[in-house]
């Protein structure tokens, strides 16, 4: 007769699972409150104390920590192990359903005491998990109630396959690793930083073919960027970087928006009433650079937008949904990767970057703080239409590599310059990209102008309004030059470097 031990704090799904096991002829062993619940619901169960011949002691602190339990779990399928186990009068245990005391929930409560925290450090449960996971060649571990139905289904058919036992063992090791990290963080007073990452995709290579690369996620079952690939070739390391940059740019806008990115640099960003129009405006910003780029949308992609996108060569499209007609159109481009996102959130709200012998961590730049107040510093105030464009350009430039310069007309970029050590060069690049479209456009700069030379270039390009943080010791020179040329200038007081 197969044998299972049940010892769970979270009783979700327990009765259904135990009924299923009993109906398949399993002997059930259970501890404490788990045994009580099963008996109250008419399920025959042997208590741990009855099974081991030893009482629970120390107020329940010691229940399952007994060689009859752990010998039954750790015994391999060899004749020697089974003979030794039988000589002790014990039997193999084939399945463990266990979950742990809620340590994280406990310490998250206000005014929690150290004594409360200590009492919620699980010992026996962790030991059961590790024993079952270690011997997963024979023993099935279930530490997540969500897995009960799949395990029962397998038992009702041909038994638990080795691949499932291994997968469940991995969940167990991940669960105890997370549990120990939470305890360590609590006892270090919050000064201990722990980071759990799971390899979810082995990439063909990194930025270049001679570099190895793997996609790691914060959850073991996450898809790329938290989404799902619907079609196309395997995503590359560079695709993932570009998609992330484009996604962050698109979802920072409320109105229908499109962002096109190539080599981590935005080629075009635009908002419009209709998504297809936003795409056309974003593409017009720099159609040459957009060739072979990636496209992000903050709205589900429909038929018109899909038709417009397929007129050009695109590596990937990422969006919070695709209509059936859009998918039919994209199906004609078999190599085009489509990434379907569950929503438009950016998560987590921190960023990590490796440096020599360490890692930098910072909160995500989600835009201006709520307390930000824009101040017009020139004699001329921006017009209503200029202010609309300035606000758009200011958001757009936050997604361009510093020194970031964005020229915008309406709610669309017409010229982008960034990633240069010289801000004046970035203004020149934006002007070159924009051409005649810079006449009457507005300009955004992610940081202040240390000299008025960037404003001089803006004057030559025909810019009519500028938004920048201000704060330079030479602000007066830039303001005077703007006044002399009838340009409206707004200071935000907030910088948005992106290195």
- The residues annotated with a catalytic role in the active site are 134, 263
In the sheet where 3-7 sits, what is the strand order? 46-47, 27-30, 3-7, 95-98, 140-142
Instruction: Measure the CA–CA gap between 243 and 261, rounded to whole angstroms.
Output: 8
Q: Are 479 and 452 in contact (CB under 8 A)?
A: no
Instruction: Measure the CA–CA gap between 346 and 365, rounded to whole angstroms.
Output: 11
* Token duo for residue 386: 């200029």
Instruction: Measure the CA–CA gap between 62 and 140, rounded to whole angstroms.
Output: 23
Cα torsion through 420, 422, 423, 427, rounded to 10: -70
Closest CA to 151 of 327, 17, 347: 17
Reduced to 3 states (helix: H, G, I; strand: E, B; else coil), residue 171 is: helix
Question: What is the rounded radius of gyration, in angstroms, for the C-alpha atoms of the chain?
Answer: 30
Cα distance between the two ends of the chain: 63
Q: Is the dihedral of CA 74, 76, 81, 82 positive or negative?
A: positive
Instruction: Measure the CA–CA gap between 160 and 48, rounded to whole angstroms.
Output: 25
Instruction: Measure the CA–CA gap between 239 and 203, rounded to whole angstroms.
Output: 11
- CB-neighbour burial class of residue 137 (10 A; exposed 0-12, middle 13-18, buried 19+): exposed
Which residues are within 8 A (CB) of 92 and not within 5 positions of it... i.e. 6 or more apart? 3, 72, 75, 82, 85, 138
């Amino acid at each position: 007769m197969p044998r299972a031990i049940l010892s769970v704090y979270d009783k979700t799904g327990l009765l259904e699972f135990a009924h299923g096991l009993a109906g398949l002829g399993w002997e059930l062993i259970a501890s404490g409150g788990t045994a009580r619940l099963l008996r109250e619901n008419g399920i025959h169960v042997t208590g741990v104390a009855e099974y081991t011949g030893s009482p629970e002691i120390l107020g329940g602190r010691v229940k399952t920590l007994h060689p009859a339990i752990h010998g039954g779990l750790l015994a391999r399928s060899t004749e020697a192990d089974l003979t030794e186990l039988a000589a002790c009068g014990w039997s193999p245990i084939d399945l463990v359903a266990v979950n742990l005391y809620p340590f994280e929930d406990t310490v998250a409560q206000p005014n929690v005491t150290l004594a409360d925290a200590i009492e919620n450090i699980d010992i026996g449960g962790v030991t059961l998990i590790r024993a079952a996971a270690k011997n997963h060649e024979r023993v099935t571990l279930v530490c997540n109630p969500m897995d009960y139905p799949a395990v029962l289904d397998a038992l009702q058919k041909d038994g638990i396959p080795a691949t499932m036992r291994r997968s469940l063992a991995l969940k167990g090791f991940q669960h105890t690793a997370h549990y120990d990290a939470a305890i360590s963080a609590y006892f270090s007073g919050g000064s201990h930083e722990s980071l759990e990452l799971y390899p979810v995709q082995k990439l063909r290579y990194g930025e270049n073919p001679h570099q190895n690369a793997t996609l790691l996620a914060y959850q073991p079952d996450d898809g790329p960027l938290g989404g799902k690939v619907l079609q196309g070739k395997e995503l590359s390391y560079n695709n993932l970087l570009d998609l992330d940059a484009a996604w962050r740019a698109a979802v920072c806008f409320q109105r229908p928006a499109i962002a096109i990115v190539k080599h981590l640099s935005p080629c075009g960003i635009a908002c419009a009433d209709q998504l297809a129009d936003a795409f056309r405006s974003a593409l017009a910003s720099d159609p040459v650079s957009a060739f072979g780029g990636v496209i992000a949308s903050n709205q589900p992609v429909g038929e018109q937008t899909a038709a417009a996108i397929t007129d050009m060569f695109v590596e990937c499209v990422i969006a919070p949904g695709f209509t059936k007609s859009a998918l039919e159109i994209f199906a004609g481009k078999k190599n085009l990767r489509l990434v379907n996102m569950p929503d438009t959130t950016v998560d987590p709200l921190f960023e990590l970057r490796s440096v020599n012998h360490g890692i930098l961590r910072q909160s995500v730049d989600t835009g201006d703080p709520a307390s930000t107040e824009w101040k017009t510093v020139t004699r001329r105030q921006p017009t209503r239409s200029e202010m609309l464009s300035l606000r758009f350009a200011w958001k757009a430039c936050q997604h361009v590599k510093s020194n970031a310069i964005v020229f915008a007309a309406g709610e669309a970029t017409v010229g982008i310059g960034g990633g240069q050590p010289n801000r004046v060069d970035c203004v020149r690049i934006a002007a070159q990209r924009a051409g005649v479209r810079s006449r009457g456009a507005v300009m955004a700069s992610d940081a202040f102008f240390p000299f008025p030379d960037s404003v001089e270039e803006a004057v030559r390009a025909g810019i009519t309004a500028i938004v920048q943080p201000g704060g330079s010791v030479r602000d007066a020179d830039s303001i005077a030059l703007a006044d002399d040329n009838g340009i409206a200038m707004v200071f935000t007081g907030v910088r948005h470097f992106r290195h």
